[in-house]
């Protein structure tokens, strides 16, 4: 079976430190997948390996059957990637930036303009397309980066902390876009986030990584059955699995 994303026994070491330890994961086409973990758990390292920014110390990662290591051009042509700290060329206008990204994917100019206009309208920044990016607000920059990641109609869309810097209206729009991408276009959305309410609301499946190791992979109902807590919310389940539910005494502090 061909998966949108397959992580195969991936390990990432930095000298004696193991950031990601023998992680394997299969993500189906056309779903929204949440990737969770405490700070320092290995989420961003894993995402950078998926995007081809870091090379695994061992193992392999495939995007729609294409190895990111052995077939990087094919794999990345199917990937839309938004890191936790995206870089923008701030002396370009919004439209110039999207034309630049479209050129990287070898799209025809007419297609780039059409897609850019569609996406800029969708994310409600079309009226700013000829403004320099340095004049955009943080939320507008985030929307523009997402436009760039979607311009070539990827089969796998990977985003790290998607709602950071977005106001409630922008966050609601982005959640609707994720749902439409998965249900209507068959694109898989793979998102890493600390916003557990969004995972509970949107995600079909999720995985939790802790101390570099995968500790859960499945859906929320399966997690409830595993922990024997049918009425618990995701926050309670997550904290129990990651050992983060210890209560710090506050009597002498507050």
- Burial environment of residue 246 by CB neighbours within 10 A (0 to 12, 13 to 18, 19 or more): exposed
Largest CA distance in the chain: 65
At residue 25, the pLDDT reads 96
Enumerate the H helices of the chain as residue ranges: 43-50, 72-77, 94-104, 109-122, 138-150, 168-185, 196-202, 220-227, 234-242
At residue 27, the pLDDT reads 97
CA quadruple 212, 217, 219, 220: dihedral sign: negative
For residue range 200-238, list pLDDT tens digits in order. 999 999 999 999 999 999 999 999 999 999 999 999 999
For the chain, the structural domain boundaries read 1-78+155-166+185-249
- CATH superfamily label, 1-78+155-166+185-249: P-loop containing nucleotide triphosphate hydrolases (3.40.50.300)
User: From residue 66, how far is each of 3, 17, 103 by CA, in Å?
Assistant: 10, 29, 22
At residue 85, the pLDDT reads 82
CA quadruple 56, 61, 63, 66: dihedral sign: positive
């Amino acid at each position: 079976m061909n998966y949108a994303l397959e992580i195969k026994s991936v390990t990432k070491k930095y000298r004696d430190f193991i950031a990601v330890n023998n992680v394997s994961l299969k993500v189906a086409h056309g779903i929204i997948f949440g990737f969770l973990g405490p700070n320092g758990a290995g989420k961003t390292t894993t995402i950078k390996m998926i995007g081809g920014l870091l090379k695994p110390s061992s193992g392999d990662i495939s995007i729609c059957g294409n190895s990111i290591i052995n077939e990087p051009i094919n794999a990345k042509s199917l990937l839309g990637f938004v890191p936790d700290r995206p870089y923008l060329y701030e002396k370009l206008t919004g439209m110039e930036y999207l034309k630049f990204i479209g050129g990287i994917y070898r799209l025809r100019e007419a297609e780039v303009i059409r897609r850019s206009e569609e996406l800029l309208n969708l994310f409600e920044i079309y009226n700013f397309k000829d403004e320099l990016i340095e004049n955009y607000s943080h939320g507008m920059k985030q929307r523009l980066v997402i436009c760039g990641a979607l311009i070539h109609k990827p089969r796998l869309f990977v985003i790290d902390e998607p709602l950071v810097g977005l106001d409630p209206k922008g966050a609601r729009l982005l959640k609707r876009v994720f749902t439409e991408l998965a249900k209507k276009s068959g694109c898989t959305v793979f998102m890493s986030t600390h916003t557990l309410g969004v995972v509970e609301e949107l995600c079909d499946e999720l995985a939790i990584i802790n101390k570099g190791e995968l500790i859960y992979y499945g859906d929320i109902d399966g997690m409830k059955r595993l922990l024997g807590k049918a009425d618990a919310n995701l926050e309670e389940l997550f904290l129990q699995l990651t050992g983060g539910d210890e209560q710090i005494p506050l009597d002498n502090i507050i």
